[in-house]
Amino acid sequence: MAVLNEQDFKKEILSGNFSQLYLIYGEEKYLVKKYTEYIYSKLIGKKSSDFDSDILSSDADLQSIADAAEQLPLMSEKRCVCVNDFDFESISESDLKSLIAFCSDLPESTVLIFSQPTLTSDSKKTNKTKKFSTMAEKVGTVLHCEKRGEIALERNIISWAKKLGCEIDEINAAKLIASCGTDMNTLENETQKLCAYVGSGIIADDAIKAVAVRNTEARIFALSDSIIRRDYNSAYKQLDLLFYQREKPEVILGVLSSAFVDIYRVRTAIESGEKASALKDIFPYKGKEFRLRNAERDMKQYSNKAISKILDAIAYADIRLKSNVGNQRTVLEMLIAKILLIVKEDSGK
């Protein structure tokens, strides 16, 4: 069999030519859940039968998985067994070998699905998962659900809104992503909220500002935006709000620094004859392309010298935070003052 992309995976399921083993995992948990339910519904139908299906939790042991998989279907052609969030890294090497041996020779009437709709793996500890995945690629089907890019997410938002009797264009869909982040579960929930808010018709910027939740990154980017606009009062109000919401100082600094790193990268790319969009193939901007557009817009306000000074100031603040030198809030307040001073001097005002 093989590792399939979403399109080929859907074709396989629609054809009815099911594999006996599926491994569905990846960073985008919304898609993991969606495609797991898709197989399940195609095999069992909307009215599931306890005789022909089993859904096992993450604490299922090898014996319970084997017992469920070896039962014969009574009312369907296939028996479907789904094991959710099974942690391959938590079992012993001998148990892993036994599991691989069992899954390599499943009963013909059984479709066994290992799905990870919530489990997040430690990237440094995936050796056993890789061993299982290698076997699954040979005897079954593997679907890795990656994070979607911004254009694909915008299409999803437009489609969700349309199904609920509303309209949203690409520009406002991008604004919703900028506010809520790229998690598809969150975006679908926020789209539903917006549709309930407007009732029907067009979802515009004012509705997004009134209803949509702002994730941590979006709130901190609002701080960097205030700094870029040289709005002193707003900048300190945003910082005050972030501390009130108990955001960690190192997280605030990290996101704040990324706004200026984006500007530096975009400036460097453009001065080298490249487009800003080319950076998404080098750095992790997938689903966050709006950051590149914002950086290209904002970079015109800074000279190279000013950007260099700002990054130096951010690096110094980072050292002070990590060294526990001084009050953490004071460190960030002084950083904002320093950046605003650099911007003022750079503009000659």
Same domain, 123 and 199: no
Same domain, 267 and 329: yes
- The token pair that represents 222 in the structure block: 């609002």
Looking at 109, 144, 179, which one is the last position of a domain? 144
Looking at 177, 211, 245, which one is the last position of a domain? 211
Looking at 159, 179, 211, which one is the last position of a domain? 211
- Strands, DSSP E only, in 205-343? none
State the residue range of the domain holding 104: 2-144
Please tell me the distance from the alpha carbon of residue 124 to that of residue 128, in angstroms, as a whole number.
11
Distance of CA 184 to the CA centre of its chain: 7
Which pTM was predicted?
A: 0.70
- For residue 125, what pLDDT is reported? 60
The stretch 191-209 carries a mean pLDDT of: 92
Given a contact cutoff of 8 angstroms between Cβ atoms, the answer to whether 277 and 289 are in contact is yes
CATH number at residue 198: 1.10.8.60
Same domain, 94 and 23: yes
Same domain, 198 and 224: no
- Residues recorded for the chain: 349
Q: How far is CA 44 from CA 51, 68, 140, 152, 342, in A?
A: 10, 15, 19, 30, 64
Segment holding 14, helix H or strand E: helix 6-15
- For residue 16, what pLDDT is reported? 85
- For residue 224, what pLDDT is reported? 80
Q: Residue 152 — pLDDT band, cuts 50, 70, 90?
A: very high
Given a contact cutoff of 8 angstroms between Cβ atoms, the answer to whether 195 and 180 are in contact is no
Same domain, 71 and 166: no
Distance of CA 153 to the CA centre of its chain: 11
The stretch 35-45 carries a mean pLDDT of: 88
- For residue 246, what pLDDT is reported? 83
- For residue 47, what pLDDT is reported? 57
CATH number at residue 23: 3.40.50.300
| 205 pLDDT higher than 80 | yes
CATH number at residue 334: 1.20.272.10
| 9 pLDDT higher than 80 | yes
Q: Chain-wide mean pLDDT for the chain?
A: 88
Give how many domains the chain has, as a whole number: 3
User: What residues pair up with 25 in beta bridges, in sequence order?
Assistant: 144
- For residue 309, what pLDDT is reported? 94
- For residue 23, what pLDDT is reported? 96
Per-residue pLDDT tens digits for 222-280 = 788 788 777 888 888 888 888 877 888 998 898 889 889 999 999 999 999 999 889 98
Same domain, 35 and 82: yes
The stretch 116-122 carries a mean pLDDT of: 82
- For residue 348, what pLDDT is reported? 64
